[in-house]
């Protein structure tokens, strides 16, 4: 079966001449249907540039991005836009403070013509209920919601567009740990029930360990290592991956032992 | 041993348009000489305002009401004038903030800012002597090309480099207490791990007492000798780090730990609900020199 | 909105602003009923009572042809308010539209629109208006046009700056990724976030427009006699200072009251709406 998303030799250069910045360099990987691929890297690794290219915010400089077996055009069709959705890091800034939560969710339904016009508020309420919020939250302003609730709304907005692939850009790193745990469980459950694929961008390897099927490690725009999650945490190949694992703060002795054995005495 | 910092029954209330909101409901905390104490909690728990009160910053706000005992090395801070309190900052008490780059002034060189810091303790220190002392301090945070760093502006250095500079500055005047508010949270994980280790070694060597404020349990476990867990303005559990992490006693602490994803795997963490128990009385672990 | 109203009424200074502006608006609206001599708004001559100081009959005195100053000031408020409202009603949408498009689109559109704005901003406002009035007939309508021409660029600048920073917010990216049109993103997503600043500026500007319009008529370039206007009344009376002081002092005070009132409300709104963001 063809993978849902497939990148082949994708590069992105900003600017030109001696001041050009090569943000992404010759990157190739696949995301299968129903799979969660974690994209891991620190600042400047190119992970956000990568997300923006998949979303069509800007095109790639070279290489090819294929979705469902066909090359994605630089000007996306409505179908592509609705099929690839985004959940951003900062839940407060990703919702317009001056519009109701419902209006933000409904925008996608209107643009993509999902459902009948008279039905759409009901669809908005369904989307809210799917992420564990009461339907009448649609009348609320984002300021009246907690950070975790805002992030649920952002997830509802993405789901309402009936996507097949969701780009999760650090979806829990702005949240408190208790809220993070609930949002992670919600995302995991939605992926299974709806057969979604995720590109899960994060710098937090302990999150990756528990939600991802495969991991792609990026550094300075290059793909350092890409393997099954189990393999990455049992036998990391790249020194950089070992260093990342060595820097993860842990809370149990069990984890500490694992971390020490994996980072292999490398300085953190 | 005497306490470097003692906070007794600290209350904080904010008066706003919509009435009075109580932020701290009687927080008590003590730090002994050379001890690293962590105050752990989620956003809005009151951990950062506690630090600001120790620095005397919140008391200046017209809409904040602060009450409770504050003692630095036995001296009653509440008896100090605003000026005397200000004089403590940067000398007896110093602070490290979340984002090192934004806590340095972008229009002055590192050298100029370092001289400013040193002159807090040593007014009239000539620039040449200041640069010499700054160079030695930078070497202690493993910055070896200190001449270049002193001539640079903060934006010309990496976040990790700025963090080292900030740590060196904070320890420059041999403070008796260092307050670190979520240090390095704005940095990359590998850099954060390095600078935390560096800070740990430095304060251990100099015997500086540290109030370490964080939301990250893993970081706290690696850095602190003792832990205070704060929830909605109340300390819910306190004790030596090892005791708390081995056997968390309070429902809230247990929920926090259950919510942290493990690198050993096991799927998305399952937070045990039961928030009503979060308001249970404080759990105290003895030991750790108490 | 409700909270805004409550805070506005609780602060004594902003309360004073509300009272002053309400007084000006009510006296302008009900001038026909309040004015002791409604007919004095036009070309009336009363040689019995000309150039008199304040008396029981004429509380603010009479002008050189015997018209009641108090009545004329009430009618002059009408002209001032009308001018302010019309100028802002035209200048604000133009400036907002230019600022939104320039700020959101960037590139060539930004360059063209903002350089045009800079051209207008580089000419001292009163000079621009005087130049325009020199070419055009000095009528109320042309005075409005002249003031509008110098006013919209300030709104373009304001909205442009806000749009530039809002463009970086996540909600704009979210709407773009969904594929919302430029019109939707600018007017439905970004514009509501500019409104607090725009409304605050409009309130402050009501006072300034009244001053500029008065300055124009002070120079004889605005509203023409016999229509009562605060600026021309001050100008006319200035020639007879200090003997006939009431001719300048009362119209001058009237300008002060209106401008001061709008400024107080504007300052209060800036604080309230600014804190909301």
B208-242 residue pLDDT tens: 999 999 999 999 999 999 999 999 999 999 999 99
**Which candidate from A55, A93, A99 shows the least CB-CB separation from C192?**
A99
Q: Which residues pair with B8 in a beta bridge?
A: B69
Superfamily the domain B3-284 falls into = P-loop containing nucleotide triphosphate hydrolases (3.40.50.300)
Whether B290 has a pLDDT exceeding 50, the answer reads no
Pick the range with the lowest mean pLDDT from B142-146, B150-154, C174-178, C215-219.
C215-219
* C171 to A108: CB separation less than 8 angstroms, yes or no: no
Q: Which residues pair with A24 in a beta bridge?
A: A12
> What is the reported pLDDT for C81?
87
- Mean pLDDT, rounded, for C71-89: 88
> What is the reported pLDDT for B17?
67
Q: How far is Cα B36 from Cα A248, in angstroms, rounded to an integer?
A: 21
Share of chain C above pLDDT 70, in %: 97
Q: Chain A: residue nearest B159 by CA?
A: A43
Whether C200 has a pLDDT exceeding 50, the answer reads yes
Q: How far is Cα B105 from Cα B116, in angstroms, rounded to an integer?
A: 12
> What is the reported pLDDT for C179?
83
Q: Which of A40, A47, A247, A254 to mutate to test the interface with B (most CBs of B within 10 A)?
A: A247
Question: Is the dihedral angle over the CA atoms C100, C102, C107, C108 positive or is it negative?
Answer: positive
> What is the reported pLDDT for B121?
87
> What is the reported pLDDT for A220?
92
Superfamily the domain A5-262 falls into = P-loop containing nucleotide triphosphate hydrolases (3.40.50.300)
Interface ipTM: 0.86
Q: Contacts of residue A244 in chain B, CB cutoff 8 Å? A: 189-190
Q: Contacts of residue B216 in chain A, CB cutoff 8 Å? A: 249
Instruction: Determine contact: A212 vs chain B, CB below 8 A.
Output: no
What does pLDDT average to over chain B? 89
* B261 to A244: CB separation less than 8 angstroms, yes or no: no
B220, two tokens = 């706290």
Residue A171 pLDDT grade (very low, low, confident, very high; cuts 50, 70, 90): very high
Share of chain A above pLDDT 70, in %: 98
Instruction: Determine contact: A96 vs chain C, CB below 8 A.
Output: yes
> What is the reported pLDDT for A268?
45
Instruction: Give tens-digit pLDDT for B74-90.
Output: 899 999 888 888 889 88
**Which candidate from A181, A188, A258 shows the least CB-CB separation from B271?**
A181
Q: How far is Cα A215 from Cα A122, in angstroms, rounded to an integer?
A: 37
**Which candidate from A185, A210, A248 shows the least CB-CB separation from B265?**
A210
Determine the longest span between alpha carbons in chain A, in angstroms. Answer: 63
Q: Contacts of residue A90 in chain C, CB cutoff 8 Å? A: 170
* C193 to A104: CB separation less than 8 angstroms, yes or no: no
- Mean pLDDT, rounded, for C37-54: 76
Q: How far is Cα A225 from Cα B93, in angstroms, rounded to an integer?
A: 45
Q: Which residue has the higher pLDDT, A201 or C242?
A: A201
**Which candidate from B42, B219, B263 shows the least CB-CB separation from A255?**
B263
Whether C277 has a pLDDT exceeding 70, the answer reads no
Listed in sequence order, the residues at least 6 apart from A109 whose beta carbon sits closer than 8 Å to its beta carbon are: A115, A120, A123, A124, A160, A161
- Mean pLDDT, rounded, for C249-273: 85
CA distance B252 to chain A (A): 10
Whether C160 has a pLDDT exceeding 80, the answer reads yes
CA dihedral C268, C272, C275, C277 (to 10 degrees): -120
Domains of chain C: 2-33+62-273 (1.10.3720.10)
Pick the range with the lowest mean pLDDT from B118-122, C67-71, C272-276.
C272-276
**Which candidate from A180, A184, A250 shows the least CB-CB separation from B218?**
A250
* A104 to C179: CB separation less than 8 angstroms, yes or no: no
Instruction: With CA atoms as reference, report the closest residue to C46 among C37, C59, C34, C33.
Output: C37
B216, two tokens = 């990250």
User: With contact defined as beta carbons under 8 Å apart, do B129 and B186 qualify?
Assistant: no
Q: Where are the domains of chain A?
A: 5-262
Q: Which of A96, A111, A144 to mutate to test the interface with C (most CBs of C within 10 A)?
A: A96
Instruction: Give the CA radius of gyration of chain A.
Output: 19
* A207 to B245: CB separation less than 8 angstroms, yes or no: no
Q: Where are the domains of chain B?
A: 3-284
Whether B185 has a pLDDT exceeding 90, the answer reads no
Cα separations (Å) of A213 from A130, A190, A231? 23, 15, 10
> What is the reported pLDDT for B108?
92
> What is the reported pLDDT for C275?
41
Q: Which chains does chain C touch, 3 or more C-beta pairs < 8 A? A: A
> What is the reported pLDDT for B7?
95
Q: How far is Cα A179 from Cα B259, in angstroms, rounded to an integer?
A: 8
Question: Is the dihedral angle over the CA atoms B271, B272, B278, B280 positive or is it negative?
Answer: negative
* C174 to A99: CB separation less than 8 angstroms, yes or no: no
Q: Contacts of residue B254 in chain A, CB cutoff 8 Å? A: none
Q: Contacts of residue A154 in chain C, CB cutoff 8 Å? A: 174
CA distance C103 to chain A (A): 18
Listed in sequence order, the residues at least 6 apart from C249 whose beta carbon sits closer than 8 Å to its beta carbon are: none
- Collapsing DSSP to helix, strand or coil, B54 comes out as helix
Q: Which residue has the higher pLDDT, C86 or C141?
A: C86
Instruction: Give tens-digit pLDDT for A99-140.
Output: 999 999 999 999 999 989 999 999 999 999 999 999 999 999
Instruction: Determine contact: A77 vs chain C, CB below 8 A.
Output: no
Q: Contacts of residue B194 in chain A, CB cutoff 8 Å? A: 247, 268
Residue B289 pLDDT grade (very low, low, confident, very high; cuts 50, 70, 90): very low
Q: Which of A77, A78, A93 to mutate to test the interface with C (most CBs of C within 10 A)?
A: A93
- Mean pLDDT, rounded, for B162-187: 90
Q: Which of A251, A261, A266 to mutate to test the interface with B (most CBs of B within 10 A)?
A: A251
* B192 to A247: CB separation less than 8 angstroms, yes or no: yes
CA distance A99 to chain B (A): 23
* A96 to C179: CB separation less than 8 angstroms, yes or no: no
CA distance C44 to chain A (A): 54
Q: Chain B: residue nearest A147 by CA?
A: B43
Instruction: Determine contact: A111 vs chain C, CB below 8 A.
Output: yes
* A96 to C171: CB separation less than 8 angstroms, yes or no: yes
Q: pTM surpassing 0.90?
A: no
Q: Chain A: residue nearest B186 by CA?
A: A43
User: Chain A 29-58, CB below 8 Å of chain C: which residues?
Assistant: 55-57
Q: Which residues of chain B are at the A interface, by a Cβ-Cβ cutoff of 8 Å?
A: 42-43, 188-194, 197, 215-219, 221-222, 245, 255-271
* B256 to A243: CB separation less than 8 angstroms, yes or no: no
């Amino acid at each position: 079966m063809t993978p849902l998303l497939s990148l082949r030799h994708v590069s992105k250069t900003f600017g030109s001449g001696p001041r050009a910045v090569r943000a992404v360099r010759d990157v190739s990987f696949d995301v299968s249907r129903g799979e969660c691929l974690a994209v891991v890297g620190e600042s400047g690794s190119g992970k956000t540039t990568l997300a923006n290219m998949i979303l069509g915010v800007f095109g790639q400089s070279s290489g090819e991005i294929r979705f469902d077996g066909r090359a994605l055009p630089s000007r996306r069709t409505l179908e592509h836009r609705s099929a690839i959705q985004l959940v951003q890091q900062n839940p407060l800034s990703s919702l317009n403070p001056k519009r109701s939560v419902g209006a933000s969710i409904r925008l996608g339904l209107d643009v993509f013509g999902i459902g009948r016009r008279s039905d759409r508020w009901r669809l908005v309420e369904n989307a809210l209920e799917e992420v564990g919020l009461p339907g009448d939250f649609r009348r609320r302003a984002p300021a009246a919601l907690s950070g975790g609730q805002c992030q649920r709304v952002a997830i509802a907005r993405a789901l309402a567009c009936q996507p097949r692939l969701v780009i999760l850009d650090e979806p829990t790193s702005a949240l408190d740990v208790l809220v993070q745990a609930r949002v992670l469980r919600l995302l995991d459950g939605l992926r299974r029930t709806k057969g979604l694929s995720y590109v899960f961008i994060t710098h937090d390897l302990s999150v990756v360990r528990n939600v991802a099927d495969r991991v792609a490690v990026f550094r300075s725009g290059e793909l350092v290592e890409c393997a099954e999650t189990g393999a990455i945490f049992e036998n990391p190949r790249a020194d950089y991956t070992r260093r990342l694992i060595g820097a993860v703060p842990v809370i149990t002795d069990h984890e500490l032992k694992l971390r020490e054995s994996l980072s292999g005495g490398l300085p953190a | 041993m005497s306490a470097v910092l003692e906070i007794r029954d600290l209350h904080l209330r904010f008066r706003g348009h919509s009435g009075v909101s109580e932020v701290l409901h009687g927080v008590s905390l003590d730090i002994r000489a050379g001890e690293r104490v962590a105050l752990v909690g989620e956003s809005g728990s009151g951990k950062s305002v506690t630090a600001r009160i120790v620095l005397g910053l919140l008391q200046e706000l017209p809409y904040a009401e602060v009450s409770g005992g504050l003692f630095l090395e036995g001296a009653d801070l509440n008896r100090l004038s605003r000026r005397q309190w200000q004089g403590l900052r940067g000398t007896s008490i110093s602070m490290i903030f979340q984002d090192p780059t934004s806590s340095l002034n972008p229009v002055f060189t590192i050298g100029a800012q370092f001289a400013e810091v040193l002159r807090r303790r040593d007014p009239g220190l000539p620039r040449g002597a200041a640069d010499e002392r700054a160079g030695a301090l930078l070497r202690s945070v493993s910055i070896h090309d200190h001449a270049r760093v002193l001539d640079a502006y903060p934006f010309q250095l990496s976040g990790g480099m700025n963090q080292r500079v900030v740590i060196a500055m904070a320890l420059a005047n041999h403070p008796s207490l260092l307050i670190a508010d979520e240090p390095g949270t704005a940095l990359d994980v590998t850099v954060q791990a390095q600078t935390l280790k560096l800070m740990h070694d430095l304060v251990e060597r100099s015997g500086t007492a540290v109030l370490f404020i964080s939301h990250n349990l893993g970081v706290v476990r690696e850095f602190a000798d003792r832990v205070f867990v704060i929830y909605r303005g109340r300390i819910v559990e306190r004790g030596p780090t090892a005791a708390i992490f081995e056997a968390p006693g309070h429902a809230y602490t247990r929920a926090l730990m259950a919510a942290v994803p493990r690198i050993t795997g096991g799927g998305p963490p399952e937070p045990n609900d039961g928030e009503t128990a979060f308001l249970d009385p404080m759990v105290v672990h003895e030991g750790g020199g108490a | 909105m409700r909270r805004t109203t409550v805070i506005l009424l609780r602060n004594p200074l902003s309360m004073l602003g509300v009272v002053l502006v309400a007084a000006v608006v009510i006296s302008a609206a009900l001038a026909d009923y309040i004015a002791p001599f409604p007919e004095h708004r036009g070309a009336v001559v009363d040689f019995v009572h000309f150039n008199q100081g304040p008396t029981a009959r004429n509380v603010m005195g009479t002008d050189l042809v015997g018209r009641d100053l108090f009545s004329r000031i009430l009618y002059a408020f009408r002209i001032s308010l009308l001018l302010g409202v019309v100028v802002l009603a035209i200048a604000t949408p133009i400036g907002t539209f230019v600022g939104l498009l320039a700020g959101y689109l960037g590139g060539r559109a930004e360059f063209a629109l903002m350089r045009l704005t800079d051209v207008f901003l580089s000419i001292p406002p009163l000079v621009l208006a005087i130049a325009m009035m020199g070419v055009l007939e000095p009528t109320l309508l042309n005075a409005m046009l002249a003031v509008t021409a110098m006013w919209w660029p300030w709104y373009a600048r304001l909205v442009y700056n806000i749009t530039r920073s809002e463009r970086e917010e996540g909600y704009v990216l979210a709407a773009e990724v969904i594929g919302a049109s430029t019109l939707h993103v600018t007017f439905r997503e970004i514009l509501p976030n500019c409104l607090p600043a725009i409304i605050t500026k409009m309130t402050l500007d009501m006072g300034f427009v009244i001053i500029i319009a008065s300055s124009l008529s002070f120079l004889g370039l605005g509203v023409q006699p016999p229509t009562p206007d605060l600026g021309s009344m001050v100008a006319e009376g200035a020639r007879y200072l200090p003997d006939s002081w009431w001719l300048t002092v009362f119209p001058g005070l009237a300008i002060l009251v209106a401008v001061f009132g709008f400024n107080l409300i504007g300052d209060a709104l800036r604080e309230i709406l600014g804190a909301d963001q």
